[in-house]
Structure 1
Amino acid sequence: MNDRAPAPGGLALIESLVNTLSVDTGADALDTEDGRAAFGLGEADVPAARKLREALRAACLAHAGHTAPGHHPSDLNRILAGAPLRVRVDGAGAATLHPATEADGLTSRVAAAIAEAAAEGTWLRLKACEAEDCLWAYYDRSPGGRSRWCSMAVCGSRAKMRAYRARRVG
């Protein structure tokens, strides 16, 4: 649904994971072998990945000033607690965060991406569309960081048309 460019850096991983579920159709890419392979997941990893996805969606909705029914952004804290990170300093003295375990699981990669984005000041710009039948994740590149829909041409137009019709009826 999103006609925007992918999120920068590690946020692209998070955006892709959140967008594995099409809320309007119910299609879940994690149900397919190719969808799981895109994230290095096996079938046994899917329930945890879905919990992570919905916790990330709740955080993206919170970034846009909305709530996710049945989910809270703090759900992400519990999930990420199991993904410890380590600081690595390179030869030039630059510090980066990496998963603490050698097994680079999805949760650890997401935790590292969030830490990187928070340090760069971009984490709060990863949002979820305001449209209840969409909730697609997108990166808000607007100057004021106040965009509301993943696509102005689709979700934004629908919302504006609903508001227009409501005003005409009322």
Structure 2
Amino acid sequence: MSGRVPAPGSLALVETLVNTVDLESGTDALDTAEGRARFDVAEGDLAAARELRESLRVVCLAHAGHPPHREVTPLQELLTAAPLLLTVSAADGSATLGPAHQGPLVSRVAAAIAEALVEGTWPRLKACEAPTCLWAYYDRSPAGRGRWCSMSVCGARAKMRRYRAK
């Protein structure tokens, strides 16, 4: 929907997953074989991937100070199925945190969130406040107080509605 720059690092995976559905048109990229392949989601795991997506959206809404759009399984419950593995290099002492199992989408999402927590970027992944949009975006505003995925689309619509209400 928006022309924003993608979220930094592996947080782009989370942003892209949340944005696999266009709520305005009802189009869901996970309905296609290409969309599922992009996230390595088997058709049998589709319901779990969609539940993960909507739980992530609720967290993105919370980051922006908005209430949940619907009842979902709390993200914390979904992430308990995704153990992370800390790997320390004997050569240089560097450490990385990644999924213990490479396959499941939830493991990759958990690792992306962990990386974003370390980098301090996690709270800036938000969801648009427009109820017909709820698109995930990375808030790059200096104060971190962005409200819409796109000021020229959703922001303009909201401002026009407020103007007309006056």
TM-score for both structures, normalised by structure 2: 0.96
Match of 1:35 in 2: 35
Q: Shift of the alpha carbon at 1:150?
A: 0.3
Match of 1:92 in 2: 92
Q: What are the superposed Cα offsets for residues 52-71 of structure 1, whole Å, 9 maximum, x if unpaired?
A: 00000000000000112333
Equivalent residue letter for 2:47: P
* Displacement over 6 Å in runs of 4+: none
The separation in 2 between residues aligned to 1:92 and 1:153, in whole angstroms, is 47
Runs (5+) with no aligned partner, structure 2:
none
Match of 1:115 in 2: 114
Match of 2:160 in 1: 161
The separation in 1 between residues aligned to 2:37 and 2:93, in whole angstroms, is 35
Say whether the 8 Å CA contact 2:24–2:133 is kept in structure 1. Answer: yes
The separation in 1 between residues aligned to 2:154 and 2:120, in whole angstroms, is 26
Does residue 6 (structure 1) correspond to residue 6 (structure 2)? The answer is yes
Query: Which aligned pairs between 1:66-105 and structure 2 lie closer than 5 A?
Result: 66-71=66-71, 75-90=74-89, 91-101=91-101, 103-105=102-104
Match of 2:50 in 1: 50
Match of 2:105 in 1: 106
Q: What are the superposed Cα offsets for residues 22-59 of structure 1, whole Å, 9 maximum, x if unpaired?
A: 01111111000111010011111110000000000000
Q: Shift of the alpha carbon at 1:163?
A: 0.5
Count of aligned pairs = 165
Say what the alpha-carbon RMSD is for the aligned residues. Answer: 1.2
Match of 2:127 in 1: 128
Identity %: 62
Q: Shift of the alpha carbon at 1:92?
A: 2.5
Matched residue SS, 1:127: strand
TM-score for both structures, normalised by structure 1: 0.93
Matched residue SS, 1:134: coil
Does residue 64 (structure 1) correspond to residue 64 (structure 2)? The answer is yes
Runs (5+) with no aligned partner, structure 1:
none
Say whether the 8 Å CA contact 1:55–1:75 is kept in structure 2. Answer: yes
Match of 1:141 in 2: 140
Equivalent residue letter for 1:159: A
